[in-house]
Amino acid sequence: MILHTLIARKRILVGLGLTISSWALAQGYGPEVAASKMTVPEGFEVKLFASEPEIRQPVAMEFDHRGRLWVIQYLQYPNPAGLERVEVDRWSRTTYDRVPEPPPKGPRGADRITICEDTDGDGVADSFKDFVDGLNLASGLAFGHGGVFVLQVPYLLFYPDKNHDDIPDSDPEVCLTGFGMQDAHSVANSLTFGPDGWLYGNQGSTVTAHIRGIEFQQGVWRYHPVTKEFELFCEGGGNMWGLDFNEWGDLFSSTNVGPALCLHGVQGGYYWKSFGKHGDLHNPYAYGYFDHMKEANYVGGHVTVGGSFYRGPSFPEEYIGKYIGGNLLSHDVYWHVIESDGSTYQARHGGELAVSNDAWCAPTDVTIGPDGAVYFSDWNDQRTAHPDPDADWDRTNGRVYRIQVKDAAPVPVDLSEKSNNELIDLLGSQNQWMVRHARSILTERRDPSIQSTLKEMIGRPSDSNTQLEALWTLYSCGGMTDDLADSLLLHLKPEVRRWVVHFLGDAREVPQSSGERLVQMARTEADVRVRSQLASTAKRIQSEFGLRIVKEIVARDEDGGDPHVPLLIWWALEAHSVSSQHLAMELLTQEDVWNSSLFQKEILPRLMRRYAAEGTEETDEACFALLNRADDPTPLLESLGEGWGDRGRKIRGMEGGSLFTSYAASNLEAVNEEDSSIRISGDLRNELKTLLEADPKNPQLLTLLCKAGDPDSLNRVREWAFDSDSTDDHRKVSLKILSEVQDSESREQFLSQLSTETSPEFFEPLLEGVRRTARDEDAGALLTLYREAPVDRQSKILEVILSKEAFALAFLKKVEAGE
């Protein structure tokens, strides 16, 4: 079929007067020629491992335990088979007519998973067979637990293959459903087993997932194949495509937000995303977020994909531990240095591993082979931007290249038949491919007889990561007990302590002994990364211990300058602040906490805002107590006002952050404009009035009291706003306050003064007051004002007219009537 197609194309092109040589040039370099055009560092070489026609549109790849490369051919991109588009928005987010059934019942697509094998050891694949075909937007795969996990949105599927004959034993099991499929270049991707035995993945930016009651757009999620648990590991990020773990088990996701290289994903973290395009964070009380990990001396386009840490046996020392990723828009493969930055990391460009010198080269994934060679897939197309969904996409091309030390020979490998003892020995290998696959097989076997050996390895002094690898394997095999966890919290190696803290948090409910040890660690732990994980764990476990961990870390006052710890502490506190308010207030108002700079700068303003946002009698009393305790209430007054503003954006019974919630909340606010006063407790109101008595013209206090509907404050501000004897400063502030609180009693005065106001500095505050307070019956007055206003003011008045349906309709009627 392919030969016939090429001959037909040749005839057409010759008929158009084009030669074969010009056609070949228009199609880009052939696979072998493209490899020869690439530039690599001295001592390296690039070889073509696989290409069209066997491999086309490769988007993800992974080696199995037998050293064979499995490749997803994303041939169905960009439109799913069998579905009809109902709507496409400005960002190409597509709504389809239905949710497809999972395979094999659902629509049959063109995607396939192909096993590429080098049977003769020359470094080139010569055997190709499909494990499964007919997939419909498949974007990730991972091996484990007797089969293959496959992402095909909206599903996470599991194809059992217990006898490893490369034929699925049955139809796939549906592990998860609900991943977003609105945009095929942003779907869930990068299936990767973490060191803890969970299966991790990214989801990109312009899709929305709804999984087991959890809605999210971009973020990192995880699924446990044994317990079947699912959770959002961290929320936010760019259009991430590529996920890996460093030697300490920290998670990194490649991103399209250059000059950032990737995102260091921390458990329970919230990250920047394009909020206007993708909606708010789903925790409306996050009150902050982490940014992407910036890279010094960034090189290339803004999209990094497939980032993987190199810990193989063949590259020179300078590459060990480096982060290798494809740069989609520069068509190259780079290596990067990842360095500590407090509890997180920073990056700098290391160098070029492969410069393609080919504008058609489009790296989509990077992985490390069993012999230490670096493999990268090349989508290979004239276009690298995601196109119009109806564009004629070229699906004829695709390559996989192998970057290796010169004259290196591939090493045959098959770990699937090795004994437990042989696999345990491999946990100490310097070849991370061997380590990960050994851990994976041991996790799948879950043999209790190996637990004593693993425990002994954890306790054995070592300069390598063998202790950590043994810990991860033991936990993944179900061998972690409460007593063992308690003892390992005292381990000499901080990374072991950190991961035990992590494991305890994953349990959600910790025993009394473990909880007390965690609190003690928060008081004395010297390693900032362990303290960072303590904060993440404090968010997840019961308040009795979570809040005490927060208290101890804050009281130490050591982490205010860390890039991550302050917000992690806040997110832990926020998780318990309302449900365990009395304990939170008891702990946080103690002298050592209250007087710490970390608390005063990072925690207290957010806590005030959170309680103000909740808006109950109990949380108002907490606001009163915090104000009453503060030496300088000014920062807290600002937080109080922000919290009241949060009430207007909150819809009871709905999770914050959804695109619908953002829309609905804004409309709900418009509906409730007639009743905009904030209801607060008597103690809080009296505290604000007491503060106002000491500073009668304080605009913050007046604004707050007016928002709370205090009649004395409202009358005072109205007098200043509309009294000609008021100073200009008082008048401007007062107009702003009345506008903010949508004071209906000032409606007529806003309109009347606007019609006669000549000063530009008062015109806009008055117009804003009209916008916020005018009623439908004021349409005539506004149209008259528009008609009689100077030209330079008409456009601003027209904006107000068009902001309200009744005004806009009245305006259009006047236009139709020629008036």
Query: pLDDT tens digit string along 522-565?
Result: 999 999 999 999 999 999 999 999 999 999 999 999 999 999 99
> Which strand (E) or helix (H) includes residue 262?
strand 260-265
Q: How far, CA to CA in Å, does 420 sit from each of 128, 434, 444, 779?
A: 30, 14, 11, 82
State mean pLDDT over 82-108.
93
The residue count for the chain: 819
Nearest CA to 218 out of 240, 194, 189 is that of 240
Token pair for residue 531?
A: 């303290």
Token pair for residue 786?
A: 């528009």
**C-alpha Rg value of the chain to the nearest Å:** 31
Give the CA angle between residues 204, 114, 241 to the nearest 5°: 15
State mean pLDDT over 333-350.
97
> Strand, coil or helix: what is 140?
strand
pLDDT of residue 402: 98
Which CATH number is correct for 480-674, 3.40.1000, 1.10.3470, 3.40.630, 1.25.10?
A: 1.25.10
> Strand, coil or helix: what is 715?
helix
**CATH classification code of 38-405:** 2.120.10.30
Nearest CA to 640 out of 608, 618, 606 is that of 608
Q: Provide DSSP, 507-542.
A: TSS--HHHHHHHHHHHHH---HHHHHHHHHHHHHS-
Average pLDDT of every residue of the chain: 90
State mean pLDDT over 380-399.
81
pLDDT of residue 385: 67
Q: Do 106 and 96 meet the contact criterion of CB atoms below 8 Å apart?
A: no
Half-sphere exposure at residue 101, Cβ-oriented, CA atoms within 13 angstroms: 7
3-state SS, one letter per residue, for 12-31: HHHHCCCCHHHHHHHCCCCH
Q: How confident is the model at residue 146 (pLDDT cuts 50, 70, 90)?
A: very high
Q: Do 310 and 531 meet the contact criterion of CB atoms below 8 Å apart?
A: no
Q: pLDDT over 70 for what percent of the chain? A: 93
112-122 per-position pLDDT tens digit: 999 999 999 99
Alpha carbons 527 and 119: distance in angstroms, whole number: 48
pLDDT of residue 387: 60
pLDDT of residue 695: 92
pLDDT of residue 787: 86
Q: pLDDT over 90 for what percent of the chain? A: 74
pLDDT over 50 (residue 670): no
pLDDT over 60 (residue 762): yes
Alpha carbons 113 and 718: distance in angstroms, whole number: 71
Tell the residue number behind the tokens 């019942």, with chain if given: 105
Alpha carbons 72 and 306: distance in angstroms, whole number: 14
State mean pLDDT over 594-620.
97
Q: Do 198 and 222 meet the contact criterion of CB atoms below 8 Å apart?
A: yes
pLDDT of residue 648: 66
pLDDT over 80 (residue 407): yes
pLDDT of residue 673: 45
Domain boundaries, the chain: 1-32, 38-405, 480-674
Higher pLDDT: 697 or 599? It is: 599
648-664 per-position pLDDT tens digit: 665 433 444 444 444 34
pLDDT of residue 789: 86
Which range of 383-387, 468-472, 676-680 scores highest in mean pLDDT? It is 468-472
pLDDT of residue 651: 43
Q: Do 145 and 444 meet the contact criterion of CB atoms below 8 Å apart?
A: yes
742-759 per-position pLDDT tens digit: 888 988 888 888 888 878
Give the CA angle between residues 640, 645, 650 to the nearest 5°: 120
State mean pLDDT over 786-795.
86
Q: Do 40 and 353 meet the contact criterion of CB atoms below 8 Å apart?
A: yes
pLDDT of residue 649: 65
Alpha carbons 580 and 582: distance in angstroms, whole number: 6
pLDDT of residue 729: 84
pLDDT over 90 (residue 615): yes
Contacts of 505 (CB under 8 A, 6+ apart): 267, 533, 536, 537, 538, 539, 540, 541
> Which strand (E) or helix (H) includes residue 159?
strand 155-160
Least confident span in 100-104, 292-296, 494-498: 292-296
pLDDT of residue 724: 74
pLDDT of residue 664: 41
536-547 per-position pLDDT tens digit: 999 999 999 999
